[in-house]
């Protein structure tokens, strides 16, 4: 099956921190000009597609629209909608997550909700943990947007969704079901949103243990770029390999890959 579409990670692929990866702008423009169906994907559940579009615009990676992004908040909302249309949730998370749940027809509730949904939020407090724990002990199902435990920040590090999930898991003895990478469900939902087939889609990422493994498990073709956390040596540490390895997106000849 020839390649037709692209799903790509962002951090370490098209930017690093606040700096664009050289050639990323041209790569994005070539996808737009060739009318390639594509999505940029992130495990971050705090930001909306509009936030992401503005962030990339500010780096000079322009011409993207909100439709070019999928976040773990969007995937979580789509998954919960498929499980229980019109369900209720108590949410520990940011505006991005709450927004997506509303859009899928969920309502927020603190009394007997179907789900406790947890994403990263800087407004986390003791009362939110207390409520989450009580609701889960009373039977609410426990959902996490993504497993990342720590994120880089301006002056060091900060706890991410996985750290909040861990504290609730320890208190309740219940394990969350986590939607974001490396769960291949995130890829399956992305492929559906793009209305393409997994087998004709290339997953581009900089991490073997998230991007590449979940692209592989979803039945996609995979491409590791070495512009983020991985080096050529990293490949030896894993029992699986990507279909392609490039130094960065600047080295991807998409026209050649599509007609291969």
Q: How far apart are CA 4 and CA 19, in angstroms?
A: 28
Q: How far apart are CA 11 and CA 30, in angstroms?
A: 19
Contact between 114 and Mg ion per CB under 5 A: no
67 is a catalytic site residue: no
Contact between 113 and Mg ion per CB under 5 A: no
Contact between 100 and Mg ion per CB under 5 A: no
DSSP label of 238: S
Instruction: Report the residue number whose CB is nearest to Mg ion.
Output: 12
Return the number of the residue (209 or 243) whose C-beta is nearest Mg ion: 209
Q: Near Mg ion by CB under 5 A, which window of 73-81, 135-143, 205-213, 236-244?
A: 205-213
Q: Which long-range contacts (CB under 8 A, 24 or more apart) does 159-164 make?
A: 159/120, 160/120, 161/45, 161/118, 161/119, 161/120, 164/92, 164/118, 164/120, 164/121, 164/124, 164/129
For the bound state, the minimum distance from the C-beta of residue 225 to Mg ion, rounded and expressed in Å, comes to 9
Return the number of the residue (12 or 96) whose C-beta is nearest Mg ion: 12
Total residues at interface with Mg ion (CB under 5 A): 4
Name residues contacting Mg ion, limited to 6-65 (CB under 5 A).
9, 11-12
Q: Near Mg ion by CB under 5 A, which window of 70-78, 109-117, 186-194, 204-212?
A: 204-212
Return the number of the residue (15 or 90) whose C-beta is nearest Mg ion: 15
Tokens of 163: 């750290």
Residue 110 contacts residue 137 (beta carbons within 8 Å): no
DSSP 204-231: EES-IIIIIHHHHHTT-EEEEETTSS--
209 is a catalytic site residue: no
| Cβ atoms within 10 Å of 87's Cβ, excluding its own | 18
Considering only 46, 100, 169, 206, the residue that binds Mg ion (CB under 5 A) is 206
Return the number of the residue (88 or 238) whose C-beta is nearest Mg ion: 238
185-194 helix and 72-83 helix, angle to the nearest 10 degrees: 90
117 beta partners: 91, 143
Contact between 215 and Mg ion per CB under 5 A: no
Contact between 148 and Mg ion per CB under 5 A: no
Return the number of the residue (40 or 115) whose C-beta is nearest Mg ion: 40
Q: Near Mg ion by CB under 5 A, which window of 22-30, 65-73, 163-171, 203-211?
A: 203-211
Q: How far apart are CA 96 and CA 115, in angstroms?
A: 17
**Residues tagged active-site:** 9, 11
- Which chain residues interact with Mg ion by CB under 5 A? 9, 11-12, 206
């Amino acid at each position: 099956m020839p390649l037709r579409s692209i799903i790509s990670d962002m951090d370490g692929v098209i930017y690093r921190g606040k700096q664009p990866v050289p050639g990323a702008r041209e790569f994005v423009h070539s996808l737009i000009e060739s009318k390639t169906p594509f999505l940029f994907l992130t495990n971050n559940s705090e930001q909306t597609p509009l936030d992401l579009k503005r962030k990339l615009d500010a780096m000079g990676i322009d011409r993207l629209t909100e439709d070019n992004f999928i976040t773990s908040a969007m995937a979580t909302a789509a998954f919960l909608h498929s499980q229980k249309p019109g369900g209720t949730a108590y949410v520990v998370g940011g505006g991005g997550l709450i927004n997506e749940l509303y859009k899928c027809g969920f309502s927020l509730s603190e009394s007997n909700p179907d789900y406790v949904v947890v994403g990263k939020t800087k407004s986390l407090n003791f009362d939110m943990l207390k409520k989450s724990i009580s609701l889960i002990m009373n039977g609410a199902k426990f959902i996490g947007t993504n497993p990342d435990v720590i994120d880089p920040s301006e002056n060091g590090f900060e706890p991410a969704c996985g750290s909040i999930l861990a504290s609730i898991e320890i208190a309740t003895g219940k394990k969350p079901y986590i939607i974001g990478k490396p769960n291949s469900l995130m890829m399956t939902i992305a492929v559906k949103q793009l209305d393409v087939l997994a087998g004709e889609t290339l997953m581009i990422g900089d991490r073997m243990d998230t991007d590449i493994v979940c692209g592989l498990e979803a039945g996609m073709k995979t491409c590791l770029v070495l512009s983020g956390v991985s080096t050529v040596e990293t490949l030896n540490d894993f029992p699986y390999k990507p279909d392609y390895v490039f130094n960065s997106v600047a080295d991807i000849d998409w026209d050649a890959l599509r007609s291969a």
